[in-house]
Amino acid sequence: MYIAANLETIRQRIAAACARAGRDPASVTLLAVTKGQAPASVRAAADLGITIFGENKIQEAKIKIGQCPGRLRWHFIGHLQSNKCRDAVHFFEMIESVDSLALAQEIDKCAAKGAKTMPVLLEVNIAGESTKYGFKPDELLARFEAINALRKLEIHGLMTIAPYTPEPEKVRPIFRQLRELKEQCDKILGVPLPHLSMGMSGDFEIAIEEGATLVRIGTALFGERPRAARAATRESGNAR
């Protein structure tokens, strides 16, 4: 099965990147990005031991999650509209893509109604790309305490999507800046945030060398997404 072979290669590459950085491979979690993939692929990956899955569209995710029973853990990784917050809070274990104070407030409200606490990551647009969502770094620091004060929302760390480049070494400064920004947030909090979600199929090894704890991998695991899904991804602003 090609997913098994791809996974083995990815695990070896994660281990090698950890060795280069002097990190324990257990400190890096592989999140399988299943947007555009059929439930059968999700099940195949789950059977191989992957436990965390990422989706970037609420509509697609609701259907797929229903078709994938079992103890799977789902992270939302796309741009979230406020009218979809209720579903996001209900279906997902973590929302990795909180990109504004208004969205954080809406998630907090929905979590309160659902009587749960919602773990989130704050998405940062480090490169300042106009096609991507996310806080600007200084804006994140300015809003951090207001977001942290929301009672039903729990900040677990930061997330970024690096600009696409065929030479991943070029985006190393992006990952480094996200790590440094997390260190500033850690100072504000007085305790370290556990997560840095950064690195995708084309750049995850560099992200790990710079401290990633969650790598979000789709194509390298499942192969190219079907065309419709690639177009949908571009529309969502997370163009890769």
Ligand X SMILES: *Cc1c(COP(=O)(O)O)cnc(C)c1O
**By C-beta, is 38 or 146 nearer to ligand X?**
38
**By C-beta, is 117 or 162 nearer to ligand X?**
162
Terminal Cα distance for the chain, rounded = 26
Closest separation between CB of residue 154 and ligand X, Å? 20
Closest separation between CB of residue 216 and ligand X, Å? 4
**By C-beta, is 132 or 182 nearer to ligand X?**
132
Please choose, from the candidates 146, 86, 80, the residue with its C-alpha nearest in 3D space to the C-alpha of residue 118: 86
Q: Which residues bind ligand X (CB under 6 A)?
A: 33, 35, 56, 77, 161, 200-202, 216-220, 233, 238, 240
Tokens of 120: 């989130």
Chain position whose Cβ is nearest to ligand X: 218
Work out the angle at residue 197's Cα, subtended by the Cα atoms of residues 196 and 203, and round it to the nearest 5 degrees.
Answer: 115
Distance between CA atoms of 126 and 123, rounded to whole angstroms?
9
**By C-beta, is 30 or 104 nearer to ligand X?**
30
Q: How many Cβ atoms sit within 10 Å of the Cβ of residue 177?
A: 16
Closest separation between CB of residue 96 and ligand X, Å? 7
Beta strands per DSSP E along 65-213:
73-76, 94-98, 118-123, 153-159, 195-197
Closest separation between CB of residue 115 and ligand X, Å? 28
